[in-house]
């Protein structure tokens, strides 16, 4: 039995079989830290291990051990090799947060609605015209959405895929995934309006995802991965603008204040469920200045299409209540890192001072006339769509442009999400 360095003449050291096996074990560990290739060549009466770099050059160490090597140690060697081989398949990032996992509505839906039966879709031109390759993906924007930019800022990847998109699998989802559905809300009645994925179903998809991740990474590694991943929640606007203020079902049962409390209760329980499932890093967004969305300003034509302050006040009050709930949950859930990623003030600042951010128009959207178009009303046949979306805060009558998304994501990343970096 010999241990030799590739020099001439090759020296020979007589050592125990277990020591040889441990040397192999150590070298396999080093192979995880650097891009090496292990050559395992069984032969009789010896077994040979050779170490190569990525240029296929032998690194000057060749180990030969007698097949009489302690079987227990040999099993450890082979087991470690298989584990490290699996680890090398996991997408490597320089981030402390290994993945961004997303729940919510159209603000963070990268295309899940493409796969369900609903009229609320955006997988057609001119949506996505400024996305990579100019392709519509189902994102309600001319390009990327805020969560894409947040993932990129964490050093993970530039886009987050939709969980229901058949082009992706668990290897893609391991470093980030979105369960969000455009048109949904905290309230189940909100998702019924346009037949989209209810909020509770997003949690069921997350449980399914966890099972797949454990099959891919192994239980212990997957659990650690989930605890370190950032879970983002962006939802709530549709509950008011597509439900409460449109249909009498909720408004006849709840005052605005009561309905806010109803939604806050759902949000709090959702966070508790995430915590039970192993999530420890969670960010939940508040409502935007929803009275300033182009669609709402259009309905306020008798008041010179100004922002509807009633809606903005509701959003501010909701955000205050949500922050109180976040504070309570941080005391209740031991070890949780929970923040409210409130972009209300930043977006309102952009709307009130568009030129400061390089915009020319904050009142109407880029797509179509800019007053009311969204989804199928915002299609490539509309002759009024603007030529440069970067001049506009809003892409369609309800959703921001890619430029706006990038500014908001950068603001949130550098402020409330800083504790996760």
Angle (CA) 306 311 314, round 5°: 145
Structure tokens at 176: 């980030």
Rounded Cα gap, residues 162 and 168, in angstroms: 8
Query: Is residue 16 annotated as a catalytic residue, yes or no?
Result: no
Name residue, tokens 């650690």: 224
Catalytic residue among 31, 105, 106, 148: 106
For residue 45, whether the previous peptide bond is cis, meaning omega lies within 30 degrees of 0, is yes
Of 156, 125, 157, residue with least CA distance to 142: 125
Going 380 to 359 to 341 to 325, the CA torsion angle's sign is negative
Of 166, 161, 185, residue with least CA distance to 116: 166
Rounded Cα gap, residues 341 and 326, in angstroms: 11
At 361 the three-state DSSP class reads strand
Query: Is residue 411 annotated as a catalytic residue, yes or no?
Result: no
What angle do helix axes 199-217 and 256-276 make, rounded to 10 degrees? 10
Provide the terminal-to-terminal Cα distance of the chain, rounded to the nearest Å. Answer: 50
The secondary structure of residue 394, as a DSSP letter, is: B
Going 160 to 161 to 163 to 169, the CA torsion angle's sign is negative
Query: Is residue 396 annotated as a catalytic residue, yes or no?
Result: yes
Catalytic residue among 31, 105, 396, 397: 396
Rounded Cα gap, residues 226 and 219, in angstroms: 11
User: What is the DSSP secondary-structure string of 224-258?
Assistant: HHHHHSEEEEE--HHIIIIIITT-HHHHTT--HHH
Strand partners, 42: 47
Catalytic residue among 151, 231, 375, 399: 399
160 burial (CB, 10 Å; 0-12 / 13-18 / 19+) is buried
Rounded Cα gap, residues 395 and 381, in angstroms: 16
Rounded Cα gap, residues 171 and 358, in angstroms: 38
At 110 the three-state DSSP class reads coil
CB 278 within 8 A of CB 226: yes
- φ, ψ for residue 335, nearest 5 deg: 85, 0
Catalytic annotation, residues: 106, 396, 399
């Amino acid at each position: 039995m010999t241990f030799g360095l590739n020099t001439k003449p090759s020296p020979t050291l007589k050592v125990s079989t277990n020591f040889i096996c441990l040397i192999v074990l150590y070298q396999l560990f080093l192979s995880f830290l650097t891009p090496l290739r292990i050559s395992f060549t069984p032969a009789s009466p010896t077994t040979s291990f050779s170490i190569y770099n990525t240029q296929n050059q032998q690194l000057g160490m060749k180990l030969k051990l007698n097949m009489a090597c302690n079987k227990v140690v040999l099993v450890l060697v082979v087991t470690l090799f298989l584990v490290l081989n699996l680890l090398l398949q996991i997408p490597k990032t320089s981030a402390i947060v290994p993945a961004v996992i997303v729940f919510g509505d159209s603000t963070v839906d990268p295309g899940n609605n493409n796969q369900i039966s609903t009229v609320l879709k955006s997988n057609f031109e001119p949506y996505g015209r400024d996305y990579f390759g100019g392709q519509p993906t189902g994102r309600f924007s001319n390009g990327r959405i805020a969560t894409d930019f947040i993932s990129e800022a964490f050093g993970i990847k530039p886009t987050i895929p939709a969980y229901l998109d058949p082009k992706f699998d668990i290897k893609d989802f391991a470093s980030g995934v979105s369960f969000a559905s455009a048109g949904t809300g905290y309230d189940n009645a909100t998702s019924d309006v346009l037949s989209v994925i209810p909020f509770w179903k997003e949690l069921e998809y997350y449980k399914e995802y966890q099972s797949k991740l454990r099959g891919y990474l192994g239980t212990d590694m997957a659990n650690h991965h989930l605890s370190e991943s950032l879970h983002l929640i962006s939802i709530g606007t549709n509950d008011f603008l597509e439900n409460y203020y449109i249909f009498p079902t909720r408004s006849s049962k709840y005052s605005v204040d009561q309905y806010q409390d109803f939604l806050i209760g759902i949000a709090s329980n959702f966070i508790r469920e995430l915590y039970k499932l192993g999530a420890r890093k969670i960010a939940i967004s508040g409502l935007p200045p929803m009275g300033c969305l182009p669609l709402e300003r259009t309905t306020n034509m008798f008041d010179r299409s100004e922002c509807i302050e009633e809606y903005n006040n509701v959003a501010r009050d909701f955000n205050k209540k949500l922050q109180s709930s976040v504070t309570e949950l941080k005391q209740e859930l031991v070890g949780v890192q929970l923040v409210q990623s409130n972009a209300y003030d930043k977006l309102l600042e952009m709307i009130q001072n568009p030129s400061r951010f390089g915009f020319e128009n904050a009142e109407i959207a880029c797509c179509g006339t800019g007053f009311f178009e969204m989804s199928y009303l915002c299609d490539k046949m509309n002759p009024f769509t603007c030529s440069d979306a970067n001049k506009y805060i809003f892409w369609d009558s309800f959703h921001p442009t890619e430029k706006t998304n990038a500014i908001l994501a950068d603001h949130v990343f550098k402020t409330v999400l800083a504790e996760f970096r």
